[in-house]
Structure 1
């Protein structure tokens, strides 16, 4: 097992990213004032998907994030000023106002996967990876080796709730892995108090839902299909048992129709969806950045299901049982997973969880 020790020296420079707070949406308002006190807890050690350790003597000062999920968490922790670049940036208007203002000022290193050379030459001292801990393939680019990260002076850690899905030995049925990611990032960045607030806010919402519907027997739980419209309609994408979305659906008192699928995502056939005949369907479209554009996309997804010969006879389609929820709020690790649990539960179990 490898063990590495990293330390920062210069004080972080506060620039244009400093927007007061992150907005309070039930998770607590981020405050940079408490970072110094939390940073006194260093050194801290975190592990990767294989259990290898990385030790930080001081909070990192120049962070690059692989995508919007890691970036949003850092903004919510109140350390947006340390982020010097990101891949897969959030679209304008896709985050709450306070967060969006900060996110739009972060340098975009790539609209998709950050090229290897650009990442290694970014000047970062930490790269937070949301993707698979295995070699990225299938068009995802050539990931640097751990030796190359080390040579460039970049520590490499993962959001394990998503990156380590393939290594999980059991299905993801609750949000503890997401909470663990937030806690770990709080320790690394010296924002443990804010991380605790975020986790506490999530638990408050999910615990309330669990109290209302958690004891519902499996056979009485409505069946649920996550329809990833933006992933393509020719061949549907199944949301499988080791994906965060499976935990969201389970915690909301529903049954993911593809909970028996091992892994994170898998291409299936429409005959597979038809044979499982879901009672509810989530119209999962990606956030377009405006309410009008979002509604247009949701409408298109619904119309496709209602007019396609293979799907128009599904129970959920015939009864108009649709939920309009952005796909990111379900499948990307973050505090809004708890909000999705609330929304699904309130829709599927009216009178109990609303």
Structure 2
């Protein structure tokens, strides 16, 4: 009896210590674009928008803290492995969610971004969500739509992971994930060497009359640089944006990164580009130098390392020949 009582008291003490340690973590304040957001406890009914943000949540082990996700099925962006992990978790909206849907879901946090589930002046914003007691965390790269900021970098992704780690009290997981990503970026950088000749690259997302592309403030610019290239639109101080075909021709890219997602396949995009007479003399078109990157790797997230490796191999194949094989498995 005494032994049983002692074990019970130890169990209570252990629970008490664990709870106190958890409680001591809060309140937590993180920077989200031009706002500071404070959390008194870890969210338990978070909703993430888009595959890149949703996969950040999964990699941090936060599935059990989610009420659902949005914005994947309608864009056809998730890879089979991610869809399998999401099995049983409701997709609350195929594309952008409505304010009413988020309120009805009982969400206590919306993890999204500008043009990643929220639009400037739209119905779902941090301000409109706050009226219903729903916090919002904004994807760092997307802050370019609402405030002045420098060109995109991998530090944006690391900041998002650190902030989510703090919000949910899983900082050790976040730091380990960041360290693994940084290690793989360093390995690619060593393989490229310090004197790499940077290849001119254009990012083609979509559009026929005018191409939709990634400019200086969008993540692919940082991915291309880490892969030994230079985005020919890195002088355009915008994020994802439309440009003219004339500006593409004038910059004469040597390679084109195709963002693969949605109803129009990468092969169809390549056929359009190669069939456009106006582009016939562009080096990338003439040499048929296309690099296909899936959407979830081109947008800010844990698969950015895969994109860097894919682009690096496409731009500098001799450095990544079988004899120089580089191990770049995702984190």
The TM-score by the shorter chain falls in which range?
Answer: 0.7 to 0.9
Equivalent residue for 1:266?
241
List, as ranges, runs of 4+ consecutive aligned residues in structure 1 with deviation greater than 4 Å: 34-40, 90-93, 132-135
TM-score normalized with structure 1 length: 0.77
Counterpart CA distance in 1 for 2:116 and 2:53 is 15
Equivalent residue for 1:7?
none
Structure 1 residue 151 corresponds to structure 2 residue 134? no
- Larger CA Rg, structure 1 vs 2: 2
Query: Which structure 2 residues correspond to residues 5-16 of structure 1 after superposition, within 5 A?
Result: none
Question: Is the strand fraction higher in 1 or 2?
Answer: 2
Structure 1 residue 301 corresponds to structure 2 residue 273? no
Query: Which structure 2 residues correspond to residues 20-99 of structure 1 after superposition, within 5 A?
Result: 41-50=25-34, 52-90=35-73, 94-95=78-79, 97=81, 99=82
Q: Cα RMSD (Å) of the superposition?
A: 2.9
Counterpart CA distance in 2 for 1:198 and 1:209 is 17
CA shift for structure 1 position 115? 1.0
Counterpart CA distance in 2 for 1:202 and 1:39 is 30
Cα deviation 1:271-309 (Å, max 9, x = unaligned): 111111110111222167xxxxxxx92222222222211
SS in 2 for 1:208: helix
Counterpart CA distance in 2 for 1:70 and 1:134 is 10
Counterpart CA distance in 2 for 1:145 and 1:196 is 27
Equivalent residue for 2:123?
142
Structure 1 unaligned spans of 5+: 1-33, 289-295
SS in 1 for 2:91: coil
**Structure 2 vs 1, CA of residues 71 and 275 (structure 1 numbering), >3 Å: closer, same or farther?**
same
Structure 1 residue 178 corresponds to structure 2 residue 145? no
Question: Is the helix fraction higher in 1 or 2?
Answer: 2
Cα deviation 1:198-250 (Å, max 9, x = unaligned): 11121111112223336336xx311001111xx32221123110111111111
Structure 2 unaligned spans of 5+: 1-17, 321-325, 327-331
Query: Which structure 2 residues correspond to residues 1-354 of structure 1 after superposition, within 5 A?
Result: 41-50=25-34, 52-90=35-73, 94-95=78-79, 97=81, 99-131=82-114, 136=119, 141-144=122-125, 146=127, 148-164=128-144, 166-172=146-152, 174-213=153-192, 215-216=194-195, 220-228=197-205, 231-286=206-261, 297-330=265-298, 332-352=299-319, 354=326
SS in 2 for 1:342: helix
**Structure 2 vs 1, CA of residues 169 and 160 (structure 1 numbering), >3 Å: closer, same or farther?**
closer
Residue-pair matches, total: 303
